[in-house]
Amino acid sequence: MQNEEQLTCKIEDWANCCGGVDDDDFMQKQSSIPLLGDKEPLSTLAAEYQSGSPILLEKIKVLAHKYAAIRRARGDGNCFFRSFMFSYLEHILETQDRAEVDRIKIKVEECRKTLQGLGYVDFTFEDFFALFLEQLDDVLQGNENSISHEELQNRSCDQSVSDYIVMFFRFVTTGEIRKRSQFFEPFILGLTNTTVEQFCKSSVEPMGEESDHMHITALSDALGVPIRVVYLDRSSCDAGGVSVNHHNFVPAPGNLPSATSASSESINPFITMLYRPGHYDILYPK
Amino acid sequence: MQASRARLFKEYKEVQREKVADPDIQLACDDTNIFKWTALIKGPSETPFEGGVFQLVFSVPEQYPLQPPQVRFLTKIFHPNVHFKTGEICLDILKNAWSPAWTLQSVCRAIIALMAHPEPDSPLNCDSGNLVDVLFV
């Protein structure tokens, strides 16, 4: 019996190391879905669960009071970062908020210094930084390279651009977690029982590694951008009447140990994501 | 394609600079194709590989550095995580733990570390893996 267990263990290890068949199959299905879909009315979400859990259908009804639309991201493990990318750039494109662009550029420079301070070689991350900064300039109108909403969507679905920007966010996130390793360490130990550095190397930096609370906290803090995550799961509340939980990730002022919920209700993040276990999409408020 | 070429060119320049810094690794790019590299690495001391020089071949994909380089041993080596016939290497950073933060140079360092610290739990060479299990566990 024990031998059998050991054997399964080894086979699993091997499969993890060298890519299992199921993974390939799953990835193949996923790769027929665009990296980012079109904006769809929230009713399409309800349609997905028509024959499913009544709790979820109830929750989607509640969701519909506040939110109008959804934009789906491909479930390739990068959905959080990709949704963040599109949501942020779309916000800048629509608001033309130059003050915000100036603000985030300062943050991006800080992130660059963080990585340098941690010993990352410049050429390993500079191309990713450059491409994000380029997109920031391009969504601002009135210069030679300005782009339309349609072009933003095209670029977000173009793997060669989109993946580079996802990777930019991964570098930013890893830098923030490692810089404040004392703050993140207890959470990481609780989750994976590895060191902060190992966690970053195996769960933040590689493409396709899914994002967790920690990634979101770190990215939000590093760039100073609040993020709202709305949770759609089967959990129900006892008090009767279905409600949908959300959590605001609010960057700590000056990057002090992080986001507390005290101030988080007064903030209205311009980025909202819908979380279903294992997956993030973009939500649009009414 | 353009991005990978530019990145590899930066690595090429870095390798020229680092040559003296890391005497255990000699990394060289093919004269006519920047996507083909070879490396000579020294077997780590206090291992059976000490005193040996091992040749690696790199084949870099167009999606580099988003995708890892393919690396294998050209020199025959008896090691739990290296396929004895093909030289294929089972190392997480060359598969699902790859990230662009790695470079061809640091991949060489990781392979040297793997030579010194085999992972018998994910063997590509079962005989060698079993030997490590028997001898050290």
Q: Hey, what long-range contacts does A143-152 have (CB within 8 A, 24 or more apart)?
A: A147/A93, A149/A90, A149/A93, A149/A94, A152/A86, A152/A89, A152/A90, A152/A93
pLDDT at position A20, please? Answer: 39
Burial class (CB in 10 A: 0-12, 13-18, 19+), B38: middle
Q: What is the full DSSP assignment across B41-68?
A: EEPPTTSTTTT-EEEEEEE--TTTTTSP
Q: Which of B13, B9, B56, B17 is nearest to B35 (CA)?
A: B9
A279 is known as an active-site residue: yes
d(Cα A115, Cα A174) in Å, to the nearest integer?
9
Dihedral sign for Cα atoms in the order A214, A216, A217, A223: positive
A76 is known as an active-site residue: yes
pLDDT at position A240, please? Answer: 63
Taking the CA of residue A48 and the nearest CA in chain B, the distance in Å comes to 31
Q: Do A124 and B102 touch (CB under 8 A)?
A: yes
Whether B6 has its CB under 8 Å from any CB of chain A: the answer is: yes
Alpha helices (H) along A96-180: 98-117, 122-139, 149-157, 159-179
What percentage of chain B's residues is helix, strand, coil (to nearest 5)? 30, 20, 50
pLDDT at position A30, please? Answer: 67
- The mean pLDDT of chain A is 86
Choosing among A17, A22, A169, which should be mutated to test the B contact, i.e. which has the most B CBs within 10 A? A17
HSE at residue A236, side-chain half, CA atoms within 13 A, is 11
**ipTM field:** 0.89
Q: Is the pLDDT of residue A170 over 50?
A: yes
Residue of A nearest to B100 (CA): A124
d(Cα A167, Cα B128) in Å, to the nearest integer?
37
The alpha carbon of residue B11 and the mean position of all alpha carbons in its chain are separated, in whole angstroms, by: 15
Least confident of A266-270, B58-62, B85-89, B112-116: A266-270
A200 is known as an active-site residue: no
Least confident of A6-10, B52-56, B93-97: A6-10
Q: Confidence band (pLDDT; 50, 70, 90) for A242? A: confident
HSE at residue A122, side-chain half, CA atoms within 13 A, is 6
Instruction: Mark out chain A residues that contact chain B at CB-CB < 8 A.
Output: 9-10, 13-14, 16-19, 120-121, 123-125, 127-128, 160, 163-164, 167, 170-171, 174, 201-202, 205-208
The pTM is what?
Answer: 0.88
Q: Which residues have C-beta within 8 Å of that of residue B19, sequence separation ≥ 6? A: B26
Chain B residues inside the 8 Å CB shell of A17? 90, 92, 95-96, 122
Q: Is the pLDDT of residue A71 over 90?
A: yes
pLDDT at position A237, please? Answer: 63
- The mean pLDDT of chain B is 91
B61 backbone dihedrals φ, ψ, rounded to 5°: -75, 160
Q: Do B97 and A120 touch (CB under 8 A)?
A: no
d(Cα A100, Cα A160) in Å, to the nearest integer?
26
Chain A residues inside the 8 Å CB shell of B3? 127, 160, 164
Tens-place pLDDT, residues A247-262: 999 997 654 444 444 4
Chain A residues inside the 8 Å CB shell of B121? 9-10, 13
Whether B95 has its CB under 8 Å from any CB of chain A: the answer is: yes
